[in-house]
């Protein structure tokens, strides 16, 4: 596969219609800090600073697909309870078609509450449905058989919470096969994957695979042995095994397989990586990409996912940005991602420039940002922008400049922009403080109007 073909395989996909079927959950995050041990018991006391609720389980796949630009239809069940109400509200906020969500009085909605201090998960509390109460299977199957024919792909996110019976899974597989629609399965932990017979592919993770085959996956030979065993037991076109920090295995046969290495060296949190892989595989297959292209983008997206604490989603542009710039710091991001992740509790401090011939003076300037006690965003002009204004390209390309800036402790985020000035960025980011060098004090700034309009405070740092 050429780099151009890989890029085009994602770039050309517009808005495929995808049906996401599975166990809908609510992920509740409590973020805080731990400074003492409880006097009541030898346990840490976490002071909660921020709380957040997001779609989890199959809902996480829904959010991933929606962020990529897919038209998403969801099929699942919630209880008639507060958690279920919140799940349905979040689906509506993500502009997802909820017509396949059944509200059942006998069903308890699934909640996972995570408590996180810094980058450390302290505790997770789960509320799960009663395993003896199945969702209304006949109603589910009728809905699926009506809607699958009009979709470009189906993703099944099975967490084993009572939604998907063997009969329902069989109906999904049969309908997909009849209408030649790819069916991607993210399976529950089970000793037999025969319930996913006739899916296009399933994507177990390392632990799920080990549970199914009965031995540990210590190396690539073990992974290949496990893949061959599962492929023999279950009639599938492909098998994809997610191997966390070791990447993933795409398996067709003992003679036709590929190991794709993880594309990151920074691992902060593996939560959500599996959902990301199944989301990207489905999106790519729905867009007519081949399986090798789908697996490549799935692994790249998973590598991005594990660089973040908590579950995050990515747009096509963000994935293409990573593809273009390669392995990079998690500080470097698109404007789109920056806007969705800016902290609420700190003032945003903004500065911008070429940062081409980076000198000791530049470093002193940036280190002074710490004195403002905010969240420091540095925007740098792209190579295209500099070449247009100076008539020649910069000495260091934009990736090199961004990577250098990312090593500076005082810099929290870096974005690259194409405009001749940062006015539009300031209007979008709305920083509390904009910082310039002292030499600009008596000059008319091109961003002056944007600074005044947003009410940002303008600070000048000493000459450098």
Nearest by Cα to 457 from 427, 440, 432: 432
- Helices 3-11 and 316-325, interaxial angle, to 10°? 170
d(CA 131, CA 392): 66
DSSP string, 274-339: HHHHHHHHHHHHHTT--HHHHHHHHHHHHHHHTTSSS-----HHHHHHHHHH-S--TTB--HHHHH
Q: Is 275 tagged catalytic? A: yes
d(CA 437, CA 418): 21
Answer for the pair 137, 170: CB distance below 8 angstroms, yes or no.
no
Which two tokens mark 259?
């190991």
3-state SS class at 340: helix
Cα 328 to its chain centre, rounded Å, is 16
3-state SS class at 94: coil
**Which residue has tokens 């199957």?**
141
**Which residue has tokens 């990447």?**
247
d(CA 451, CA 244): 44
- CA torsion sign for 324, 329, 335, 340 is positive
Answer for the pair 296, 8: CB distance below 8 angstroms, yes or no.
no
User: Catalytic one among 27, 152, 269, 275?
Assistant: 275
Active-site residue set: 275
């Amino acid at each position: 596969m050429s780099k151009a073909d890989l890029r085009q395989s994602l770039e050309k996909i517009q808005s495929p219609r995808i049906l996401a079927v599975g166990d809908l959950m609510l992920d509740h995050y409590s973020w805080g800090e731990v400074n003492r041990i409880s006097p009541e018991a030898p346990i840490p006391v976490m002071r909660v600073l921020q709380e957040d609720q997001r779609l989890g389980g199959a809902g996480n796949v829904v959010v991933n697909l929606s962020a990529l630009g897919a038209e998403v239809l969801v099929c699942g069940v919630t209880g008639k309870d507060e958690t279920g109400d919140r799940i349905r509200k979040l689906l509506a906020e993500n502009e997802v078609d909820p017509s396949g969500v059944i509200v059942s009085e006998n069903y308890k909605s699934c909640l996972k509450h995570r408590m996180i201090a810094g980058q450390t998960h302290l505790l997770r509390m789960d509320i799960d449905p009663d395993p003896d109460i199945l969702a209304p299977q006949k109603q589910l199957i009728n809905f699926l058989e009506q809607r699958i024919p009009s979709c470009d792909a189906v993703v099944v996110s099975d967490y084993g919470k009572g939604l998907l019976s063997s009969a329902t899974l069989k109906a999904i597989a049969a309908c997909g096969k009849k209408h030649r629609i790819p069916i991607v399965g993210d399976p529950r932990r089970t000793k037999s994957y025969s319930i996913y017979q006739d899916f296009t592919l399933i994507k177990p993770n390392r632990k799920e695979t080990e549970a199914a085959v009965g031995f540990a996956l210590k190396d690539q030979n073990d992974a290949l042995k496990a893949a061959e065993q599962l492929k023999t037991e279950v009639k599938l076109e492909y098998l994809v095994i997610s191997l966390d920090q070791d990447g993933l295995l795409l398996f067709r046969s003992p003679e036709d397989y590929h190991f794709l290495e993880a594309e990151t060296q920074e691992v902060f949190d593996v939560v959500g990586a599996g959902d990301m892989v199944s989301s990207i595989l489905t999106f790519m297959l729905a867009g007519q990409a081949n399986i090798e292209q789908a697996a490549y983008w799935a692994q790249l997206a998973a590598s991005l996912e594990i660089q973040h604490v908590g579950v995050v989603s990515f747009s096509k542009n963000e994935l293409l940005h990573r593809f273009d710039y390669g392995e990079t710091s998690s500080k470097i991001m698109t404007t789109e991602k920056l806007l969705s992740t800016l902290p609420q509790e700190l003032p945003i401090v903004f500065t911008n420039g070429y940062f081409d011939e980076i000198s000791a003076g530049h470093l002193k300037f940036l280190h002074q940002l710490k004195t403002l006690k905010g969240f420091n965003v540095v925007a740098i002009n792209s190579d295209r922008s500099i070449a247009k204004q100076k008539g020649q390209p910069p000495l260091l390309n934009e990736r090199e400049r961004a990577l250098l800036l990312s090593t500076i402790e005082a810099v929290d985020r870096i974005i690259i922009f194409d405009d001749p000035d940062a006015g539009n960025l300031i209007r979008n980011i709305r920083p509390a403080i904009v910082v310039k060098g002292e030499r600009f004090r008596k000059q008319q700034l091109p961003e002056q109007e944007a600074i005044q309009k947003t009410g940002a405070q303008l600070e000048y740092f000493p000459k450098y």
